[in-house]
Amino acid sequence: MMYEVRDLRLSFPDMAHKPLIGAAPRLEVLKGVSFDVHKGAVLGIVGGSGSGKSTLGRAMLRLLEPTGGTISFDGTDITHMGEDQLRGMRKRFQMIFQDPMSSLNPRRRVGGIIAGPLRLQGLDGLPGRVDEALDMVGLPRGFAQRYPHELSGGQRQRVGIARAIALRPDFILADEIVSGLDVSSQAQVLNLLGELVRDLGLTLAFISHDLSVIRRLCNRVLVLHHGEVVEEGATAALFDAPQAAYTRELLGAIPLPDPHQPWG
Amino acid sequence: MSGYLSIRNLTVRLKGGATILRDVSLNVGAGQVHGLVGESGAGKSMIGKAVLGTLPRALEVVSGQIVLDGTDLQTLPPKERRRRIGASAALIPQDPLTALNPSKRIGPQITRRLVDILGWPKVAAEARALELLEEVHIPDPVRVMRSYPHELSGGMRQRILIASAFAAEPKLIIADEPTTALDVTVQKQILRLISEMQARHDTALLFVTHDLGVVSKVCDTLSVLYAGKVVEEANMHRFFMRPIHPYSAALLAATPTYTNPTGSLTPVPQAVIDGVEREVAEHDMRAAP
Amino acid sequence: MRDARGEVKRPIGLRLWLSGGWLALLVLAALCAPLIAPHDPLMQDLFLGRMPPFWMDGAEPGFWLGTDSLGRDVLSRILYGARLALIVALVAGSLTCLVGATLGLIAGYYRGWPDRIISRFVDIWMAFPPVLFAILLIAVLGPGLMSIIIAIVVIDWTRFARVIRAEAMTQGAMDYVASAQVAGRTRFGTMLTEILPNVLPTIVALLTLEMGIAVIVEAILSFVNLSISTDSPTWGGMIAEGRTSVHQAWWVLVFPLITLFLTVLSFSQLGEGLKDRFDPVLR
């Protein structure tokens, strides 16, 4: 089992409503989320804005600390693990971020961006590994010398992927990574991810608000609504026979490229 | 053929540099919805900006006509042109967050257009603003008028921008990727709303998007753009049944449809890109003096 | 697919040449003053008092910009005055930057209680009226070069702290910072490798601005006679003296004033020019 999440809760202090004296009221973002991720699975995490899906992703990577419940990664309880201990484990779970503009440091070259995590985790043979990573995402090796703003959105996203896989992690979280891309780049990135999952034996969690993308890539789907799991199951089953009303609403909202089919 | 908005052979360049729009022609009839489709960087937004006169200063219109309700906007003196555009056209922008002034309440932001451009008295403008907020199904419009943008959700803000666009009863609205920044369920509501408003006010609508699914639900006709050149123009039904240009067909093939999960998503094949690049190059050679 | 968005190349602007040129000249003057200056700036000769600059009638040859009421050569005094101005600019400017930017960076990136403490500190500090504060400080410390530098640092660091804190906060929210954490970098390491490079352009612009301000502050202080205590020439002091004889010998006031103005202008323009030039992110 890659991940075991039990009754996960996360709340933030609501600074907008903080009284003068005393603690701010808590904004509950995750309200008791439970699910498993098997090794080698490709899990889609779906929900609208405000559903808590990004927060869930960041909690799984321990960029945030849960306020309740437990998260276990490969048998180890990481729920309240200190940063020093976590650092040792970090190379096993990595993340690819949504916005290719803000996820790459604009003042570092691509090569440096990919090599950064490698250096931190004490790996050697850096130039070779960087080249390898670029090859795997289908980018020319010469791109290592470029700055992010010299690449297109789709290319930047692939650098983000290269950075994540260079460490050969066991698990990758992809947070809305195709949302800002046009159709062609989107297709390229999704195909690439599918290949990498197969070739590298990755476990992948894919966050998106777009069900049509999820269907293409994932074998299991988790539907979140207002911080709670409303449905979870195998992709085909969920699409053929959605149980929850919210799932049906999400499915119905997708504009299929067919002018004759009315929008239910 | 001419419509309410008729763009003829519009060419736009970076001053002393690359060509952004190549000989673009399109028509939007009164009360019609025309889609403008293409990938990012194809120049779709630039067409809207050229019409509204908001092209970045680094760009210039080299040739062509932009005919709005029978008059070529290019031939008008700048002040008259701004007045015409202000009175008959409006924009629904892409990002509801940056399009609203964060330090002003909603009410004044809607009424400003009515008061400044059309010279309405303030009281009448406020009444109209409330009417519009109701038309776009905003609950508790009085409270919303007094709110600041950051107090409202993305979907609400987009509704306000839609209301604002229709405020002066424009004959033409340009919607520049109005739902790209929104959730899929909110997108559906907003698109429905835009269609509803467009039909009710009988406005001509130029709808810019990269999403073919969206286009098929909202538009009557469309133009497909690549590198600033129109590669295909068609009506909805014919296009989706039988796209003529290989690039259009490739775009359609790359759009995920969840009813066909086993079909692989094909990005636009290199051969198609080469083909359309050749077309663009040929066009440039013919156009060069 | 091909992207029609082109890149706009920027040539080295006139601005950078002019401001850099002037400052280079000034540095040369300051370093080589004893060699270049035509006369001893302190030498008085009452018979040569109030001689006009070389292009006017009655000018004394060898005194290019004229003399003041005590017969001292204006040009030489300006050249020697450049030394003080530049030392103050460089030392005070850099120290202010160091203190202010460091505190601002820590406050903006770490947030939490370091931010609360530092921000409160900045707020309270900025409540003191700066000019009064400077005068008070110097009255306590006694006049001298160190005092001026300390006074400038003590008053101006808050400018840096505020601006850099805001920038650090914006940068801290970027995904590449989260990415560094995911990769296992310590918070301190992230601050140095991810935040600092992105905040550096602003720091550079503020630093040069601060240098210009330091020169002005020194000039003001020597104008009111609170600057260094020797009769070594200072531009502010020259302006003060020139004020009294402005009708009979306008050049005593005007030339140091122009020099001061050009120097401060050059500093600020240099900052803007450098910031754009060395930033890989072309705007």
Tell me whether residues C4 and B273 touch, CB distance under 8 A. no
pLDDT tens, residue order, chain A (264 aa): 889 999 999 988 877 677 777 777 888 889 999 999 999 999 999 988 788 898 999 999 998 899 999 999 998 899 998 888 888 888 899 999 888 778 898 888 999 999 988 888 888 888 888 999 999 998 999 999 998 888 887 888 899 999 999 989 999 999 988 877 777 788 888 889 989 999 988 999 999 887 878 888 899 999 999 999 999 999 888 888 889 999 888 888 887 777 777 665
- Which range marks the domain in which residue A128 is found? 3-252
CA distance B54 to B81: 12
Residue of C181, C189, C281 lying closest to A106 (CB–CB): C281
Per residue in B176-189, pLDDT (tens digit) is 988 887 878 888 88
Tell me whether residues A184 and B259 touch, CB distance under 8 A. no
Work out whether strand B71-72 and strand B89-92 pair parallel, antiparallel, or are unpaired: unpaired
Q: Is C282 on the interface with B (CB under 8 A)?
A: no
- List Cβ neighbours of C32 (8 Å cut-off, separation of 6 or more): none
**pTM higher than 0.90, yes or no?**
no
Closest chain C residue to B275 measured between Cα atoms?
Answer: C1
Q: Is B30 on the interface with C (CB under 8 A)?
A: no
Q: Which of A192, B222, A259, B224 is nearest to C1 (CA)?
A: B224
Residue of B20, B273, B277 lying closest to C4 (CB–CB): B20
Please count the other Cβ atoms lying within 10 Å of the Cβ belonging to residue A159. Answer: 26
User: Has residue A259 been placed in a domain?
Assistant: no
Q: Specify the pLDDT at position B180.
A: 80
Helical packing angle, C145-172 and C112-126, nearest 10°: 140
Q: Is A61 on the interface with B (CB under 8 A)?
A: no
CA distance B231 to B72: 24
Residue B289: pLDDT band by 50, 70, 90 thresholds?
A: low
> What superfamily would CATH give domain B5-287?
P-loop containing nucleotide triphosphate hydrolases (3.40.50.300)
Residue of B213, B217, B261 lying closest to A215 (CB–CB): B261
User: Has residue A238 been placed in a domain?
Assistant: yes
- List Cβ neighbours of B70 (8 Å cut-off, separation of 6 or more): none
To the nearest whole Å, the CA of C103 is away from the closest chain B CA by 29
User: Has residue A194 been placed in a domain?
Assistant: yes
CA distance B278 to B247: 12
Please count the other Cβ atoms lying within 10 Å of the Cβ belonging to residue C60. Answer: 16
Q: Which of C104, C107, C217, C94 is nearest to C155 (CA)?
A: C217
Per residue in C224-249, pLDDT (tens digit) is 777 776 677 888 888 888 888 888 88
C-alpha to C-alpha distances, B149 to B93, B98, B158, nearest whole angstrom: 15, 10, 10
The CA angle A146-A152-A154, to the nearest 5 degrees, is: 115
User: Has residue A104 been placed in a domain?
Assistant: yes
Q: Looking at the domain that runs over C22-28+66-278, which CATH code has it been given?
A: 1.10.3720.10
The whole-number mean pLDDT for each consecutive block of 10 residues of chain C, a chain of 283 residues, reads 42 78 88 81 80 80 81 86 89 93 92 89 86 80 83 87 92 84 82 86 89 88 74 83 84 89 90 73 50
What is the residue whose two structure tokens read 């014919």?
A: B238
CA distance A240 to A225: 20
Q: Is B19 on the interface with C (CB under 8 A)?
A: yes
Residues 175-204 of C with CB under 8 A from A: 175-176, 178-186, 189, 193-194, 197-198
Residue type at position B180: T
DSSP 8-state class, residue C67: B
Q: Which of C85, C104, C92, C217 is nearest to C159 (CA)?
A: C104
Q: Which of C159, C161, C170, C156 is nearest to C114 (CA)?
A: C161
Closest chain B residue to A189 measured between Cα atoms?
Answer: B267
CATH number at residue A42: 3.40.50.300
In the complex, which subunits touch B with 3 or more CB pairs below 8 angstroms? Answer: A, C
Q: Specify the pLDDT at position A262.
A: 67
Question: CA-based diameter of chain A, in Å?
Answer: 60
Q: Specify the pLDDT at position A163.
A: 92
Q: Is A95 on the interface with C (CB under 8 A)?
A: yes
Contacts of C174 in chain A (CB under 8 A): 102-103, 105
Per residue in B28-76, pLDDT (tens digit) is 988 899 999 988 777 888 899 899 888 888 888 989 999 988 888 888 8
Where do the domains of chain C lie? Answer: 22-28+66-278
CA distance C169 to C106: 10
CA distance C150 to C57: 45
C-alpha to C-alpha distances, A244 to A224, A247, A249, nearest whole angstrom: 11, 5, 9
Handedness of CA A206, A211, A216, A220 (dihedral sign): positive
User: Has residue A56 been placed in a domain?
Assistant: yes
Q: Which of B202, C71, C180, C195 is nearest to A97 (CA)?
A: C180
Per residue in B111-141, pLDDT (tens digit) is 887 887 778 898 988 898 999 999 888 888 8
Provide the domain count of chain A: 1
Residue of C1, C3, C6 lying closest to B268 (CB–CB): C1
User: Has residue A39 been placed in a domain?
Assistant: yes
User: Has residue A262 been placed in a domain?
Assistant: no
Residue of B251, B257, B265 lying closest to A256 (CB–CB): B257
- List Cβ neighbours of A185 (8 Å cut-off, separation of 6 or more): A152, A153, A154, A157, A178, B39, B267
In the complex, which subunits touch A with 3 or more CB pairs below 8 angstroms? Answer: B, C
Closest chain B residue to A218 measured between Cα atoms?
Answer: B261
Q: Is A75 on the interface with B (CB under 8 A)?
A: no
| Count of positions (residues) in chain B | 289
| Interface contacts A/C by beta carbons within 8 Å | 72
Mean pLDDT to the nearest integer, B168-177: 90
Please count the other Cβ atoms lying within 10 Å of the Cβ belonging to residue A243. Answer: 14
Q: Is C9 on the interface with B (CB under 8 A)?
A: no
